[in-house]
Structures are given as structure tokens and as C-alpha cells.
Structure 1
Amino acid sequence: MKQTLIKFSNRPLTDDETSLLAKGGNFSITPQTIPTEEGITNIEAEIEILPPGVKEEVCSESARIPRKPKLPKSNILRGEKEAIRSLNENEKIIILPFDKGNATVVMNTSDYRRNLVVCSKTTDLGFVESNKRGMKKPPNKMESSKKKTVITHIRRFPKYASHYSRKEFWNERQEEPVKESYYRFVFNTEFNVKFHKPYSDTCSRCDNFHNIIKHSKDLVLVNNTKRDLELHQRKAKKTNDAKKSDTEANKNSEDTVVICFDLQQQTLLTPLLSTSKVFYIHQL
């Protein structure tokens, strides 16, 4: 019966390798040595359990076995012997018996391992199972909900913005900073705004009223404060109008002199008192 060779490997085979593999997996190569000494020793060890008559007969037959029997003639060529060595040393190919018959299959080792993994993961319906690595929950792993609870609690801590760490503020907000020139370009081209000079020497009562209106949560207090602020501003407007009227009258009259000064300036103590409290308040 003619043997066949099925080749799936991209490695070329020599003529001797092809001839050797075509003999099939059932082909038996003649041995280079015959272990007669080992066989006789094993026989002598096993015949101890036999009856005396059978034991003597087996000993007689084993004595006829030649100690150095003549080796049979090799049934493969010299080139095929070299082919055995080269095939055994090559780790890129694997030699397997075919499912049916006495054929021999030669495959790439990488293809064989990949097909082996696919077959091991293929279900009875012919579908490949998904990778299940990492799906098992570690016994000591904390639940994600508890981690979120800890993160939420930590984010509630009051933060102190240091003057020296303000340059790292963009990193906290995960925003990439831009150059000052680009920021200025967008400000000048996309917006029609300008910076207002901060007020100085503002009225303390007005500041107090605005602070209450802006931050108080008591609606009754806010409404009363708005009314008081409006009355205070009306009085201030009336005073400014009187000052302007006196200034205009001074311009049109030669016998009228208008003098305007601030009695609350720290540089002028009016009225002039000798008590110590006035002195220390002046230092403030």
C-alpha cells in the first residue's frame, strides 16, 4: 500500500526527508542495538513466581538466547538517517499522523499551536468561546461602589489654594494651558469688553448693604437692606447735588466762597480732642 505525505508547512523538504516521511507513521526502523542482556535479566527476575517445572523450562530456553545477536540490515538509507536528525532538531515544524490511514502530516509549529487553542475553545455548535481571562473576581478586591464613596468623601475636604501652587491649577482641571499671546488675541478679537479700575475709598455703609444683599439668605433682611440702601443713596445724591449747586454759585458770585473738606480723613482730627482713644483710632 502506497503511503502518502500531507504537507502544510512552508519549509521545503529534501528528497530524503520526503522519502522518509512518506513511509508513514507505522514504519519501524531497524534498531541499532538489541538489548538481550536486559531482556535475560528481566526474565530471570520474573520466573521466580513460576512453578518449578515451568521455571526450569524457561531458564533452558533463555540460555539459548545469544548474548550478542547479529543486527539486521538497516531498512533506511544514509540520507534518510540524516533526515531523521534534521527533522528532530527543527523546532519550527511538527510531524503528526493523519486522522485516517497511514499518512503523515507536516505543519508549522505556530499553526499547530494556534489551531490547538482554537479547537480547545470551540463549542459543540462550532463557535469559539470568548476570552475569559480576568473575568474571575479576586476575593480581596474592593467593590467599585465603595471606592467611589471614598473618592467622593475625599473631594469634600476643603482645599487651600496656595499662592505658589496656582500654576498647577490647570493640571487639576485637566486643561492644557495656552500661551499668553494667544489668550490676549482671543480676548481682543472675540470680546468687546475692558477692565474696570477697582473702586477706592468706597462708602462703608454701601459696602455693608451690598454684602448683606449678596450673601444673606433671609429674604426679609434682604428686602429691608435694599430699602435702606436706596434711602442712603438718595441722601448721598441730595448731598452731591447741593455741593454742585454751591460750586456753580461760587463761580457766578464774587462775594461767595465755598470750602469743601472731609471730616473723616485720618490726616485731620476734627474735632480736636485730647482723649487717648482719638489718638489710637487715628493711627488705624
Structure 2
Amino acid sequence: MSTPQQFKLPKRLESEFGRMALKNFRSLEFMERKLARFRNHLHFTMHCKHHGLYPPSLSLKTAVKGPHAQRIIQNTQHLLLNERIRQIYYTINVTKQRISDLDESLFTCLPVDVYTDVKNWVTHASEAEFSKCCSRQKDKFSRLESKQKLSRSDVPVSQMSDDATVETACHLLGNTSNKAAELRSDCVQVLKQSKPPPSNISKEERAALRELKEDKDITILPADKGRATVILNKTDYQDKANDLLNDTNTYKPLKRDPTSMYRNQLIEVLQSLRDEGVINVITYRQLYPTSSDTPKFYGLPKVHKDACPLRPIVSSCGSITYNTAKFISKILSPLVGSTPRHLKNSEDLVTKLSAIKLADNESLISYDVSALFTSVPVDESLFIKRVTLTTSLSISTLCIPQLSLRLSERTISV
């Protein structure tokens, strides 16, 4: 929903940054709306192609009768439809390039906060245009489908094996041929007219599942291990979660939400890396925090342990550091398994244990670390990572150690 501040954005651009900034802003908004329309247009046209329908603007008529004339008309309509698809793709690519140029121009001349407001404005405009066009195209397709009948002909695929897929058949027929398009249309109609298979659960079981779903006094969630489903009383789940959060050695309450402060700090780091040439503009935009969602805390029950404690999980999807964390993960992934103490899986553990010979006075002992991830020392971890990144030749050729260290330090502090 638009806010009063957004309505003042065009005037602010003109008064503070000149008419050229306002012109580029309006052009960017126009191009985003145009891109939304043509994406809908592409979806509508591809839908027509897969269902063997032709829009009224491409439907041809002739006074010449006979099956040969009908085949000529059908082939011509199919060629025209393919040409329209090609032209739509071309228009989309040109529009994307124009949007990229306008975005680059605004990015270089506007402050970060104003640029963010501009992106939010054009994103809202694009989504509104896409939704409006989508509704209109759906109605248009429904009317077209009710008026126009599918034209079918026999498809010579009888020599294929029973387990051959539709796309394999289309490939053998030629993906761009009329026969392949007709085969896809036939398959679509068969699927639309087919009945769903019988349910693998009884009516009573389905009613029980619905009753569990509607019960507000329980919580249904997956187990930490074993692919089991756990049903807990909601009060028990909340008590277990509060027991974790009340651990003052690991968690502490905050007086206010620090998300905006951490977001500004991360932006400063990214800007300095961009200005120093460590990252380019494309990488900067990929890592730029566009979302400010707070990470979500939840717990997964450990059914293999007494009292069924919860494993704390903090989901950072959509948070300010999510894109940065993904970027760092790709850089650090080659380090995984580079130490002799690394275990790939349970099979690797069995293999290594089988090679160990114990004396009569020796025993194997296993340890379980409580709250492993929250107990990892941050400073020591950064030091080890710095040494490994700067000394490993295989890693240094695949990543930028300076970038990884500076980003990870800022991400961990956040």
C-alpha cells in the first residue's frame, strides 16, 4: 500500500536532484510496467500454443475448401504464433536492458535511502500492473477457449515404448514441429479430463487430519531427526522454547530492534568494498539488503532424547544478512572436508572406527556438545578462517579472502 511519503517522492526527486532524475524515475516506472505487461503477454501466448489455440489476431480464414487448405492455414497460424513469441522475447530483452540502464543512472546519482524508495515505488507499480494484466489475460484465454475448438490429428508415436515421456516424443518429432505441439495439446486435454487417483487414506483418516489441523491447542512439526512428525501441546512447546530463551549465557533480551542499525552497518561495508573495487556493482546489488525481516526462532523436538528437548533453530531467510550469508557460504564451501577430523556421514565414521585397534585398557568415548553453534568462539573461528583462506591455494584461486573475511566479520557481529 502506498504511503504519504511515497506520494511526495516525485516532487522530492525534482526539487533535490533535478528534472533529469525525475525523468529517469518516470521512465523506469514506465519500463517496469511495460515489462510486466509483456511478461503476461508471453504467458498468454505460450498458453495458447500449448493448448493449440490461436488468438483472434492470428486466426486466418479462406474461401478455399479442403483438408489441404486447412493444413496450410493451421501451419501458417502456427508460424505466426511462433513469430509473435519471438518478438515478445525480443521486446522483453530490450526492455530489461533499458531498465538496467535507467537503474544504473539512478543508482549513481541518488543516495541510498532515496534509491531504496525509488525501487520500492517501481516494484509496487510493476506488481500492480502485473496483477491487472494477469486477470485480464485469464479472462481473455477463457473466452478464447470456449469459442475455439482444438484441432487434432494422429501423432505417429506408436513405435515408442510405453514408458517414454511426452517430451521425449516431442523431441523425436521435432520440438518446433506442428506434430509436437499437437501432442502436447492432446496430453493437456487428457490430463484435464482425467480423474484423480483414489485416495490412499480413508475418509476417517482424512477427517482426523483435518481435525488435527484445526486444533489450536497443539503444535505439529517435524522431529529433529528420523523424519518423524511430532504433535505437542502448544503450552508444552512454548514452555520448552522459553526454557531455551531464558538461558542468559546464550540469549539476552534487547531494549529495541537493532535491525535498522545493523542494516546501515552492512550497507557501509558493502559500499566501501564497492568503492575499493573488491566487488563490482552487480555483486553489490546482489548483496544489498533489500529486506529487513527479523530472523525467526523456533525449535525442533529431539525425540531420540529424554524429555524431548528442542533443538533451537534461527531462520534468517529474508533477513538483512541472508544474501551475504549465502554469498560467504559459496566461498567457504570448498573448505568443508579439508581437515583429517572431518566425517562425511555415518558410513565414513564406521570405516574409520573399523581401522582402530583398542588395547585392553582403552575405551572409545563420545561427547555431546550442548548448544554447539551458540558456543562456537567467534574470534577464534575468524582467526582460523583467515589463516585457512590466505594459505590454501585451492581456495585462494576460487574466492576473494579479503571480501570473505570482511563480510563474515560484519555478518557475525550482526
**TM-score, normalized by the shorter chain, greater than 0.5:** no
Larger Rg: 1
Higher fraction of helix: 2
